[in-house]
Amino acid sequence: MSAEENRKLVLMFCRYLSERKLDPMFALLSEDSNWSAVGQPETFKYGGPKTKSRSVEFISAFLNAFKDFRFDVQSSTADGDRVAIEATSRGTGAKGNIYENQYLLIFRCRDGLIINIREFFDQMAVLTYEKKEF
């Protein structure tokens, strides 16, 4: 696939994420894909790599904790099989607390599917929200 086709694939993934359409979103991941979040799981429970099946569990639980959630792409850049996304999120938790974060995600694509996601975000925003909400 061309860099532009890969960019469109990733933007569709992000749109599904924002709309919380998880089945079509996860259908865009290859079965052998992995999703790595910034941080080590020993010190930040959300950090480290996850298989596709673990990503499905994790992201589903994360998004279901919000009354509303948006994931807005600010910019995208594609180069061959790699796509970089700058994005922001905003969600309202069950107790009414607001979660906001900023992201840099690096995607790798192969044969029309996403094979790897590396996610960078503000860990303190996650921990601060978690302390208020849970």
Q: Residue 51 is part of a domain; what is its CATH number?
A: 3.10.450.50
How many domains does one find in the chain? 1
Q: Phi/psi class of residue 121: alpha, beta or left (left: φ > 0; alpha: ψ in -120 to 50)? A: beta
Give the rounded percent of residues in the chain with a pLDDT score beyond 70.
Answer: 100
Q: DSSP per residue over 39-73, as a string?
A: S-TTTSTT-EEEEHHHHHHHHHHHHHTEEEEEEEE
Beta-strand relationship, 66-79 and 82-93: antiparallel
| pLDDT tens by residue, the chain, 134 residues | 899 999 999 999 999 999 999 999 999 999 999 999 999 989 888 899 999 999 999 999 999 999 999 999 999 999 999 999 999 999 999 999 999 999 999 999 999 999 999 999 999 999 999 889 87
Give the whole-angstrom CA distance, residue 78 versus residue 13.
14
Amino acid (one-letter) located at 26: F
Query: The domain containing residue 82 runs over which residues?
Result: 3-133
Condensed to tens digits (0 to 9), the pLDDT of residues 32-65 reads 999 999 999 898 888 999 999 999 999 999 999 9
Integer-rounded Cα radius of gyration of the chain: 14
